[in-house]
Amino acid sequence: MKIKKNNKSLLKSPKGSPRKKKNSNDVNLNKDVKQKGISKKKNKIRKNFKNKKTTNNEVTLHQTEKTQNKINESQVHNNINKNKIRELLKQKKKETSNPINNSETLRERIISQLRASRFRFLNDTLYNNDSSESRKMFKEDPSAFKAYHEGYQYQVEQWSLNPLDVIINAVKKMPKEYVIADFGCGEGRLADSVKQKVHSIDLVAVNDKIIACDMAHTPLLTNGINAVVFCLSLMGTNLVDYILEANRVLKMDGTLKIAEISSRFDDVNEFINLLMSYGFKNTWTDIDHKYFYFMDFKKVKNVDAKCKKLPAISLKPCVYKKR
């Protein structure tokens, strides 16, 4: 019987279909009609709760979307940065592989090689010709002198020592009232660096302090100079003419200072001895340096071209290597 009753109660289920009893509260709700309102309210609350849940879910979803958006934004940002870097790299690649830029460096290289070969040509001319020929060459093409000196300055920069600095230091120690003649002065830096009066002489005058002439025949007065300087300037096949001119312009006991590239000498002692025939006694030498020789002489005798049995003096031309 108990079983039947239980069955009846089961048949009286509000939805008319058997359902599993979830908990005792549900059974009580169905039995008590008064309780139905409460049940409705409860259902309403449940519904509201469900709705609230939905809204909460929506809020969470909204927040998730926001976070997602932020992540997306930063990813976009990252992508932009990456793309930017990629673009820059591409551009750099283009630049280096760009034939215009390549031709620019090629052009520069060709120009610098042409300049270097022009310098070597001018240098050869100066060493292997009589100075009258070199003077003619620079007169016909004044730009050649500038080109020569640009090339020369490039060479000087490669050296650990500029012989002109050694000469400048020595002249600085000479009495202030001394008169100096700088034979083959180039750009005239000696005159700009010392207190003494300096006559700067070169084949071409790059400024108005320089006398443009061949140092084989200068306009300087005889026996008026205290020191004559040849700093890497004994160029030309007629270098004895320069030595004779130095003898003419120098006072007796005056100083002759020579700085030359060591490789130009077959035998430096022979060169020193030969100078004695030209009225110059050797007073000091510095021939320990690898690339340059320095030597001082004192004028002990007046010697000119009319003097008999003057020996020939020659130095090898200085050849600069290809750049």
List of residues contacting ligand SAH (CB under 6 A)? 126, 131, 134, 152, 164, 184-186, 201-203, 214-216, 231-233, 235-236
Q: What is the DSSP letter of 46?
A: H
Measured from the CB atom, the residue of 231 and 258 that comes closer to ligand SAH is 231
Q: Which residues of 164-195 are buried (b: 16+ CB within 10 A; e: fewer)?
A: bebbbebbeebeeebbbbbbbbbbbbbbeebe
Cα atoms found within 13 Å of the Cα of residue 179, Cβ hemisphere only: 10
| Minimum distance of ligand SAH from residue 95's CB (angstroms) | 40
| Minimum distance of ligand SAH from residue 107's CB (angstroms) | 29
Measured from the CB atom, the residue of 134 and 247 that comes closer to ligand SAH is 134
| Minimum distance of ligand SAH from residue 181's CB (angstroms) | 11
Measured from the CB atom, the residue of 35 and 125 that comes closer to ligand SAH is 125
| Minimum distance of ligand SAH from residue 185's CB (angstroms) | 5
For residue 179, the SS3 value is: strand
| Minimum distance of ligand SAH from residue 199's CB (angstroms) | 12
| Minimum distance of ligand SAH from residue 156's CB (angstroms) | 7
CA distance 218 to 183: 9
Measured from the CB atom, the residue of 126 and 171 that comes closer to ligand SAH is 126
CA distance 152 to 122: 10
Measured from the CB atom, the residue of 26 and 187 that comes closer to ligand SAH is 187
CA dist 142 → 134, 148, 185, 206, 229 (Å) = 11, 10, 17, 10, 25
DSSP assignment of 187-236, as one string? TTHHHHH-SSEEEEEESS-SSTTEEES-TTS-SPPTT-EEEEEEES---S
Residue 174 near residue 221, CB atoms below 8 Å: no
Measured from the CB atom, the residue of 164 and 275 that comes closer to ligand SAH is 164
The amino acid occupying position 39 is S
| Minimum distance of ligand SAH from residue 91's CB (angstroms) | 46
Residue 220 near residue 246, CB atoms below 8 Å: no
Measured from the CB atom, the residue of 126 and 194 that comes closer to ligand SAH is 126
